[in-house]
Amino acid sequence: MKVLWTQTPGSEEIPFFEELQSLYPDIEFKLAETIQQELELVPDAEIYYGWPSDEVFNKAGNLKWIHCPGTGIDRITEAVSGLASSDVVLTNCRGPHANPMADHVLGMMLTITHRLNEQWDDQKAHRWDTYKYADSFLELTGKSMGILALGDIGKAVARRAHGFGMQVYAVDIGQVEKIPEVKEVWGMDELDYLISEVDWFVVTAPMTKETSNLIDKRRIGLLKKDARIVVISRGGIVDEEALADALLNNSIAGAAIDAFAKEPIDDDSPFWDMDNCIISAHASAYSKEMAKGRLDIFKENLRRYLNKEDFLYVCDKRAGF
């Protein structure tokens, strides 16, 4: 049996790869650091760890299981045309990303409401100006939050927002577990109502055909003038041109964005220089705990595969999550 392991950015990846080799000496583990190496090694590989290209997938004659090292599988399902109709099982690493991403959401919100980015600039400039901030901070207590998709990330965000005294509501495409921290969970037919009512609208949905450009110009126009939007899961769900216009025209109060449709964003993107928008480089999930958690999922799934047990976190290749 061969496992083809493709190198990903985490610092713990290679030691973990070596650990697997020592745990399973009868399995042939191969590390591919380039596409060319993948093409050379994949024909007889049974297991693939990483994000395969269509070319690599089409050369895989013995593939049984692909494990996505992340949570969103759109990068795979969009790239590999024959995956959905194949018998290859696709699993992902849902779970470990939720806590750091939810922390990031609240961190961005607090940065906005307490102008922490400006205070950091003051510190670097050795500037002490108490009255600059007089009567300018915003409290989260008593404010409302709407969450698009109450999955692992959405629930983690909801728990934290509830801890700050916020009233939390959500919409989701399917039947989801209602947690105590969320007052109401509605179907997607209530999305417009949710957007129009809340003070903070948080996008935690996966990127699928159904969610692509879901928050379009019309829906951005439903946001209250003093509302703010947080995009934490995937770019392409929110119409970025319409969002930029809304921010530039002050038709909404602000935004915080960790994920964009095109990454990195262009040098001339208006999002770089907006006073009412903060951005981060799609890095919200990268805690040390997350990295270990994702590797542990693969380790457990490999054990299950070898023992012919059901996988953790099998994805719906057609639905895209």
Whether residue 234 lies in the annotated active site: yes
The DSSP code for 237 is: S
CA distance 288 to 194: 34
94, 160, 234, 294: the catalytic one is: 234
114, 159, 282, 304: the catalytic one is: 282
Whether residue 97 lies in the annotated active site: no
263, 289, 294, 303: the catalytic one is: 263
Q: Measured in whole angstroms, how far is the alpha carbon of residue 173 from the centre of its chain?
A: 17
CA distance 194 to 15: 46
CA angle 227/232/235 to nearest 5° reads 100
Name every residue whose Cβ is closer than 8 Å to that of residue 210 and which is 6 or more positions away in sequence. 173
Bridge-based pairing state of the strands 28-32 and 2-6: parallel
Alpha-carbon distance values, 197 to 54, 223, 230, 237 (Å): 43, 7, 15, 20
Smallest CA-to-CA distance from 298 within 14, 8, 84, 16 is with: 16
Whether residue 75 lies in the annotated active site: no
**Residues annotated as part of the active site:** 234, 263, 282
